[in-house]
Amino acid sequence: MSARTLLAAQSVLFLVSASFAQTPKETQSHPPELVMLYRALVNERVEFVGRAYQLNKEQEKSLQSELEALIPDHIDYMDNNGKKLRLRTAAVAKVLPTQAKSTREKLTIKYQDEIYEIHTKAPLSSTNAVKRAEGMLSKAQIDRGRAALAKQFAKELKGAPLDIEKIDRLVLQPVQPEPKKKPKPPAKPKPTASTQQPPRRNVTPQKPRTPPPPLPKSSKESQTKPPEKLEPAPPVDTWQTVMDKAISQYDFSAVQQESAKRVLNSCRRRAEVHLKDNKEAYEQANQTTSAEEKSKKLKELNRSLDKLYSELNNRLESIATIEQKHASAARKKDETEKKDDK
């Protein structure tokens, strides 16, 4: 069985898991069938990597344990990216085939790249599984494993060198447009007494009605959507104060506090990965002599952190119930009134 045949099902797993909206304790709140999907995905990853890198039983067990520990992060990731994945897949399969050729080709490449990127950045991606396996191997074993992968995907690589960061592009089949369905010709009705044309009468032709003028577009429709404004994220190692503030502000229960910790760990872990992956870019930006250019580069690099920080605040707030939010607002109002009285 080829790697593409074996692992093509991962796209289905991603889409199915995204339609539901963690270690055993953390997975109790999720449907058992969803947990089984994720564990099946982990098993596929271990089998795929183990065969290429010739892992021994102990190494396979270690990799299995590492990947299963990522299931909570994968659930969080799919909660955030599942909708976009479904929309892009549907666009390539159903919508774009009906567009003009120039538009279709351009957007198909763009959306397919976004689909690949979502799969690649997922905690349970093939890329992440390969990188974690290589972390426990010697250089000689890594070289042998990569050579095996290059041979396995020689047809897809077409002579290009193997890039571990893009292994999911080799494993996944691109989304194919759905075949066009030929419409059935309408059946000709049989003439009956009721369908036969009555004899024509002399009727004075009426003047065609003048259609009413089109309604003017509202100012809201004519305006373009402004870009999302994000609060600059503080240093990642201070993000716990946001969680502590939410716990105190809304008086979270023990269960809610556990949910808040998972949200913090997920956002903070992805922020740390961003900083690590872009370490060289940050160093180059900080070495820029022009203050304006330096600020521009750092702002662009930090936008991902700003988005994660905004996500952290929004998800923490979503944990609070309506009653907790009302109680918090009432306490804040009382405190403001006391300050005004003084």
Give the pLDDT confidence score for residue 29 in this predicted structure: 55
Which is nearest to 116 in space by CA: 98, 92, 96, 95? 92
Rounded (5°) CA angle 182-183-187: 135
219: in domain: no
Sign of CA dihedral 240, 75, 15, 7: positive
pTM of the model as a whole: 0.47
The rounded distance, in Å, linking the Cα atoms of 102 and 92 is 14
| pLDDT single digits (tens) 270-287 | 999 999 999 999 999 999
Left if phi > 0, otherwise alpha if psi is -120 to 50, otherwise beta: which for 54?
left
Quote the DSSP letter at residue 236.
Answer: G
- Do 165 and 260 share a domain, yes or no? no
What was the pLDDT predicted at 193? Answer: 54
Output phi, psi for 330, to 5 deg. -65, -40
- Helix spans in 189-238 (H): 219-222
Q: Which domain holds residue 277?
A: 236-341
43, 151 contact by CB (below 8 A): no
Same domain, 146 and 262: no
**Signed CA dihedral, 15, 18, 22, 27: sign only:** negative
Picking from 50, 54, 26, the residue whose alpha carbon sits closest to that of residue 38 is 26
- Where does the pLDDT of residue 92 fall: very low under 50, low under 70, confident under 90, or very high at 90 and above? confident
158 and 275 belong to one structural domain:
no
Q: 4-8, 91-95, 229-233 — which one is most confidently predicted on average? A: 229-233
Q: Which residue has the tokens 């994000």?
A: 230
Q: What is the pLDDT of residues 220-247, one digit of tens each?
A: 444 555 556 788 999 999 999 999 999 9
Domain count, the chain: 2
pLDDT at position 222, please? 45
Residue 26 domain flag: yes
Question: Does residue 119 belong to any structural domain of this protein?
Answer: yes
Domain presence at residue 311: yes
Tell me what the pLDDT averaged over the chain comes to. Answer: 80
User: Is residue 302 pLDDT above 90, yes or no?
Assistant: yes
In a domain, residue 179? The reply is no
